[in-house]
A and B are shown apart, each in its own frame.
Chain A
């Protein structure tokens, strides 16, 4: 039995997730600086986001609105009266050495998100309760120099770029989630996946984990079976992908169980997830509770959202992703499992787009969840990052249906489009990738193949047509797969008198 199985037999995991979402507003949360990604360092700052003496913040209306919409989509109550608070601590990436955030008066609280996890007994539902959704600002970005690894340990000094400072962040904190048992890692992953889709549907963020617009910290504690007291929990940071969410929870369950088995206490600390090993390592000890000295932000006035406005925002919410998926699965004739796969890959919208342009659902799924997901996985990116569009796929699929491309050729076209050689038609023209089905063009290749395979040819002439594949294969090879296989077979048999 694996360490994990052993652990789950003895302990009940209680998990919690803290997610930070970078909003895709045009300007920063408290000033008009651009939020555009990838700008030259320190070219998107002003007195306010740099915290220069005398500067003051003014709240971004869309930042507030997006936070409320997220809260509504997560079934939260919206505060009648909410305030910003200062979270005071010193760190070089913090221009003011306090973060403008929210404390005891968050904009949204007490919601939930339902997720489904695939088990051997079918799909199991889990409800993840949401403690709060609040609004705060991001810090500057640190790079560490002089050390061997580029990480903070062993660095001689650090460099700060404040372009990111002041970008609005929405923090979503779950309540502790007990009763997930062996499915804890999957529940965590499903929660983040579902949350990501929900946020994407709301159009409030790019939600790219690799880019940092969706950040996840996972909390885990173990309760010995039968005990009523929850164990000490650890917080794990640097969880940068859906897969890492699952692995981090799994790894912590294993680690903590081994410690507890030995009779050791679990240290309350922040740990770091390590991609390469799939395990967590110790970070900073949280024994001494952080003294943040929260107090209401005097430079910003309270937010008292108008009830009618909240009602309108609620009414205008897009369809819940899970409901939308159920509806679409029915329309598209996907099984629940197939649809969940598509969702995990982040492909629902891509497929919907492809179908809207005329491709059949089955084909759309074949291309996106099959061929392209393989490419994405290999390149270590998400489906949505691939440099190929639903329009491209629709075109390729149409050409296959028309017999102008074989599946093999289509895959070559896809590869070429992904490497930036152009759109499908351009690629086909440049590389001369059409299906050869013109008889006269095929005859020389067929004759050459027959000549090169006399034994097989002889057998076919005798009526043993089963070996025709050998000749066809040879023709396909010489034509680089661009021949219409069915046509080749027909011609070969005809030539050999069958």
Chain B
């Protein structure tokens, strides 16, 4: 069996079902690769070797006993360290939760376990999902496998790097303002943010409650769809969970056809200030879609110009409240010399346990919610949000999906933007509008930028609970580009530490 770590989830599933390889073998192959090469990428915060092998053994046992197993049973996965897994450390990339072991599984993890997917470990992330480069992790930065001096994107940089480094064929991230799509774009893989409410948030450590969604990463659109299907579905433990059938994303991913589809290019996302190489690849994919029989036109989302301001008011406000519970009283870090009052312990614990970006956002949020400022900031932002959502709803009256480049630039250098919060925030320009509207969006790789030979992603946006539409377009693009490149874009990623 040639290198198991090079196979897609679909291929692994096929081999596992045939019985030509065991789940334990697949798991071990990936664990071995992580052990030898993750030191260069640093995508994992915690590798659960024992747990993963145990899960794999369980799958093999069930298959042997001819019990009904899901198609993805035995396929390994990397889990962003923001979702709880019982008995396994969860840090959210923060020192304030160092050593915390959740006593319960998130619903997403329950779904993974039911499907027999093997969770290899917890991946690195920007602290509490706040960031676009994974440099805000309190532990260490993750590197982009395409160029180890570049960022892998954020906040789900660890998950994205793990997949693009072939440490796992599947990964899970979370997307609040673009934190799945942007890393996917800059690491040359597929990443999707489902419709808000499509995937349960029970067990997802909250950053911005009205925006957070867990979603899939994979190297192919179909793999991504298969994982999406496992993750999604109604959860009675989440009041904001949609009680409707999961859109048929798997069938859509297989269609590989966009004939007759109406596609809208978001007018405001592109042009001046956007990297030339990114725009070139984008324009090529527009031509590609046209050549496949889609009708493409420009559509304006006027209020998208306010998406950044809107997001950076709403998200920090909700975060300032969500992160209040980290006070050193019940779990996590406690800073106490024995003489301090409860109030002092809370102050010192949070000062020490939170990084700068988290503190900045907590203070912005506290400000925006304060009496005297609430109406002008938070309330106003929620109203502008409604207008952005309205713009998108109107757009979908004319087109089936919307597209844009996922990110204004390719991956930038580690350390380049750490001291400039605003420059960091600009990475989210394209991904923010769908987040604010709660509609599904995904990124698929469309090539490398000429200037730096770094990956470029195409963002595809679909209407609420019509996730299948974006997978249809994504699958079609991938199929077309695959024949052009004679493989996937990710096949071109440089070898890590010599020897592929």
Chain A residues with a Cβ under 8 A of chain B: 47, 50-59, 86, 88, 90, 92, 95-98, 158, 160, 289, 291, 293-295, 298-301
Contact = CB atoms under 8 A, between A and B. Distances in A.
A366 B330 CA distance: 54
B210 interface: yes
Contacts of B378: 295
A53 B102 contact: yes
A300 B201 CA distance: 12
B325 A51 contact: yes
A90 B345 CA distance: 12
Contact of A53 (B90, B327, B342): B90
24 contacts: A47-B103, A47-B203, A53-B97, A53-B100, A54-B202, A56-B201, A58-B238, A88-B324, A92-B327, A95-B330, A97-B325, A158-B342, A291-B371, A293-B369, A293-B371, A295-B317, A295-B318, A295-B369, A295-B374, A295-B378, A298-B210, A298-B240, A299-B206, A300-B239
Given A47-B104, A50-B330, A295-B369, A301 B239 contact: yes
A100 B196 CA distance: 22
B295 interface: no
Interface residues on B, range: 35 or more
Closest 3 CB pairs of A and B: A97-B324, A293-B369, A298-B209
Contacts of A57: 239
B84 interface: yes
A86 B239 CA distance: 16
B411 interface: no
B296 to A, nearest CB: 36
A293 B236 CA distance: 29
| Consensus secondary structure, chain A interface | loop
Interface of B: 83-84, 90, 92, 97, 100, 102-104, 106, 201-206, 209-210, 236-240, 317-318, 320-321, 324-327, 329-331, 342-343, 346, 366, 369-371, 374, 378
A32 to B, nearest CB: 10
Residue from the set B320, B321, B343, B374 with the largest chain A CB neighbour count within 10 Å: B321
B204 A98 contact: no
Nearest to B341: A157
Contacts of A291: 370-371
A54 B102 contact: yes
Interface centre among B201, B236, B325, B342, by most A CB within 10 Å? B325
Given A53-B205, A54-B204, A293 B325 contact: no
Contacts of A158: 342
A88 B362 CA distance: 13
Contacts, number: 96
Contacts of B100: 53
Contact of B237 (A58, A293, A295, A300): A58
A54 B369 contact: no
Nearest to B203: A54
A197 to B, nearest CB: 35
Contacts of A97: 324-325, 327
B96 to A, nearest CB: 10
Contacts of A301: 239-240
A201 B321 CA distance: 38
Given A47-B104, A295-B374, A300-B239, A98 B202 contact: no
Contacts of A160: 329
A98 B239 contact: no
A51 B331 CA distance: 11
B325 A295 contact: no
A293 B103 contact: no
A110 to B, nearest CB: 24
Contact of A59 (B83, B239, B320, B342): B239
Nearest to A46: B104
B331 A56 contact: no
Contacts of A90: 324, 327, 343, 346
User: Of residues B317, B327, B331, which shows the largest number of chain A Cβ atoms within 10 Å of its Cβ?
Assistant: B327
Nearest to A160: B329
B129 to A, nearest CB: 12
Contacts of B104: 47, 52
Contact of B321 (A47, A56, A86, A92): A86
B239 A55 contact: no
Most buried by B among A57, A88, A90, A289: A90
Contacts of B369: 88, 293-295
A300 B238 CA distance: 9
Contacts of B202: 54-56
A92 B328 CA distance: 9
A33 B201 CA distance: 20
Contact of B331 (A52, A58, A298): A52
A147 to B, nearest CB: 14
A98 B84 contact: no
A429 to B, nearest CB: 55
A293 B319 CA distance: 13
A382 to B, nearest CB: 35
Contacts of B205: 53-54
Contacts of A92: 327, 329, 342
Nearest to A30: B239
Contacts of B324: 88, 90, 96-98
A52 B209 contact: no
Given A52-B331, A291-B371, A298-B210, A58 B236 contact: yes
